[in-house]
Structure 1
């Protein structure tokens, strides 16, 4: 029904339990998903992740028959300066998320580009250095269990909330195993254009998130914002992007009852463009 490179993020149905969200995506005809594991955004994966939680989530995903492209997680503010105990807690959380990522058969774990604030903890350069260092270390650990490490390097609400900052982070990540997720809604909300971000990150883009936006607002369903999806997908083809796409329809212009129909409509629209 949908293009085989197009999936749906469970964040699109974050108001449902994990089991019900998986069933909704199966019912719509999706075969691939991103699994949301973002505390306060999508609670399909418990933040305090025990071995039993990992097995429970993995079992529900396996039973659904869906492929998992990535696990979209968070291990805390990567620009935060931690003491020894804080580092140990972060490292333990990373290991649990990597175990989950491997267990559900996902290609990669996705981590953010810093805290949910544009304000540096120290200086911007120091914070970007620290975020890049933490992501690079996480990527090495991910490689050790056979999965990738991706970062959504431009996130409108986080430290790297502009294209300039995202590219400054990307320059620090050159030569590491970290690859990039481009979310078209965050690019447009930040005041930049997808073609500009895609050209700048060409060859390093692993995955693309799809949602509509206008400057200052990322939470629009596809067709209700100003994202030029046709132009963005053309730019991705020009950049030889061969990865996958995911609908991340955490849109505030939909009721919960409208979400399934909006996801189906968006899936058909994007499939035609791919």
Structure 2
């Protein structure tokens, strides 16, 4: 019987250090780590990451490419270069998946060949290039009872209808987009390669709540994974940046327990 590995994302420990995330993951009983490539040099250094993995017994099983707004200057301005270096890093540390965001709307040249470019790179590596679901950006209209939506990603923030071989499902992003993550997972079926386990109340903010604290069907999604032919990993990605040490540890402990309680063994 196989249970998908449960990873702790380094973003769940922000603003604490990368090493503190490895230490937390080991102490709390996670199976490995997802590393967000960030401004900290060790997140881009395979030698340092391999050393941390060995020191704490926590393998790096996922790499999150620096495709966020806050990481636009990491590894320069060449968008495809960021993807290629992320794959190289994943191969060097033994990670199984690279999480990628779709292009921003202003990255028109990059976006115009994004689906095809991901497919070409996927054909050249065993690492899964897994495109993450995003959401429309929302702003309050002059009429306070309404919100305006702006589609900030190309070719689209929803990967379901696009031809990606592998997709990462983030439950907080599904919440802010007004989507049902269980329904999305069913539509993706065998293309679902990786899960960001978190939660959302459906507000306009990307909340990344501890699973079970919002309205997304977190429990049902985990329980459905065997029937979808899921062979990937589940990474806890919750926001703890405003929490003190005790509350952060409680949130990470609760998130792991939630995953263990509801993630069934696969035959």
The 1-side partners of 2:255 and 2:55 are apart by 26
Q: CA separation of 1:7/1:122 partners in 2, compared to 1, >3 Å: closer, same or farther?
A: closer
132, 143, 164: which one aligns with 1:152: 132
Where does residue 8 of structure 2 map in the other structure? Answer: 8
In 2, are the aligned partners of 1:38 and 1:72 still within 8 Å (CA)? no
- Identify unmatched segments of 5+ residues in structure 1: none
The reply on whether 1:63 has 2:50 as its aligned counterpart is no
Superimposed CA distance per residue, residues 9-64 of structure 1 (whole angstroms, 9 cap, x where no aligned partner): 1211122222222111111111222111145xxx4745xx5xxx332233222322
The 1-side partners of 2:242 and 2:20 are apart by 21
The 1-side partners of 2:248 and 2:123 are apart by 37
The 1-side partners of 2:41 and 2:132 are apart by 19
In 2, are the aligned partners of 1:36 and 1:44 still within 8 Å (CA)? no
The 2-side partners of 1:54 and 1:234 are apart by 34
Where does residue 101 of structure 2 map in the other structure? Answer: 112
- Identify unmatched segments of 5+ residues in structure 2: 138-150
Shift of 1:248: 0.7
Q: CA separation of 1:45/1:114 partners in 2, compared to 1, >3 Å: closer, same or farther?
A: farther
Shift of 1:104: 1.2
189, 194, 210: which one aligns with 1:202: 189
Aligned length: 241
Shift of 1:107: 0.5
Where does residue 130 of structure 1 map in the other structure? Answer: 113
Q: What secondary structure sits across from 1:103 in the alignment?
A: helix
The 2-side partners of 1:94 and 1:152 are apart by 13
Matches within 5 A, 1:255-266: 255-266=244-255
In 2, are the aligned partners of 1:14 and 1:44 still within 8 Å (CA)? no
Where does residue 221 of structure 1 map in the other structure? Answer: 210
Where does residue 222 of structure 2 map in the other structure? Answer: 233
Where does residue 212 of structure 1 map in the other structure? Answer: 199
Q: What secondary structure sits across from 2:89 in the alignment?
A: helix
Shift of 1:98: 2.2
Q: What secondary structure sits across from 1:133 in the alignment?
A: helix
Shift of 1:131: 2.5
Q: CA separation of 1:159/1:204 partners in 2, compared to 1, >3 Å: closer, same or farther?
A: farther
Matches within 5 A, 1:21-170: 21-38=21-38, 43=40, 45-46=42-43, 49=44, 53-74=45-66, 89-115=78-104, 120-121=105-106, 129-141=112-124, 143=125, 146-155=126-135, 159-160=152-153, 165-167=156-158, 169-170=159-160
Q: What secondary structure sits across from 2:113 in the alignment?
A: helix
Shift of 1:229: 1.5
Q: CA separation of 1:204/1:160 partners in 2, compared to 1, >3 Å: closer, same or farther?
A: farther
Q: Provide the TM-score with structure 2 as the length reference.
A: 0.76
The 1-side partners of 2:212 and 2:68 are apart by 33
Q: What secondary structure sits across from 1:34 in the alignment?
A: strand
The 2-side partners of 1:196 and 1:4 are apart by 20
In 2, are the aligned partners of 1:152 and 1:183 still within 8 Å (CA)? yes
In 1, are the aligned partners of 2:98 and 2:128 still within 8 Å (CA)? yes
CA RMSD after TM alignment: 3.2
Where does residue 140 of structure 2 map in the other structure? Answer: none
Q: CA separation of 1:130/1:45 partners in 2, compared to 1, >3 Å: closer, same or farther?
A: farther
